[in-house]
Chain A
């Protein structure tokens, strides 16, 4: 068979224009703890997906293990709840075989940065065309409260009664190191920002990582409250937008300035330095993206939005292109001619050093 006659059911696609949140809500009871940040994330995903113009049957939601990874059960799409840490590999297999599917991967900080750390970095470097939502609550929830690879050093938990010893991972920095083509951050309770970020991720061709700060109100309540608290968030968050100055504060009176001597971002009063001195966000610049990723501490705002994005070929489209190219070379197809159907397998069986008896 050739690629124009795929074996998958060639049924007419359903109307994608009339989809609503309800179409993405399964009949399964949602079993996260009351007050969990996951509820909001689920709601925003269910709001965004119907707007993408993709038939519902073409969505696949893939997860690993953990609280967040129960997500597929609540989505009325195709879905897989796999094994701990391995969702990137499963999703890669789906996408490599079927580039036309819209694959959404759901993972947590333990799932993707501890047991599945290896798979995460390889997914990012390959640039498989899928959307990756990393719910970061800086704790193990489903196993009832052990410190995670993003927990702050000194974290006291059941498994670290005297405080954890490890330096935490910064998911954004890891993604940059792995050459991810799209890296964003949002917050569970910032519904509008989260929706915008999900839309930007959906529009990106390649692996789109969205780190979502998610509150675990049972085992790590308030992990992000210094940044998300309504009273202080204006001065503690900077929402980055491509081509716009990095302003924050209740009246956008603050901005990020790149100190070209120390090569670090500093906070400045716009009125003092002038709007022209404020850093204008260029997500394609890996260096400034890295500096933004490292912003932390009580004196610095936490950057949210698309921290980094660049375009490069995706793994799945390159894989398909290699197959086409190999076939053209094998069948000596002249340039400009369409790729012919696959050669018959019999020709391969009969190839090589054969002899007739």
Chain B
């Protein structure tokens, strides 16, 4: 499926989605409340069949967090990117997608550990790299660590 058809299809499924131009993959920003439903649709639909979540990252954009889902279909070979924005820095959360793509379980734990975004319905949301009780989330832009990070 090419970008134009994919765009039509996604905007048909989620009218509130925003299509981003000039990205390496067709990119859509969707409201976080619709994430789980759309993800299940993307994975289950025979024409779309996005069954392979090949990258899941979190980005701190200072005024909001962005969770980026890189998806590929192993049958049709097309790729796309879903983005979800989380604006609450303290209590921010998004729906977990690890019941759809199992690889998300570890990646969501990593995002929780390093960025501090919670995932609802995650089976085992603990820190993955840092120890329990670590102060703060290192990949945040406002993270300070006087001992390990040297400012030049």
Do the two chains belong together in a single complex? no
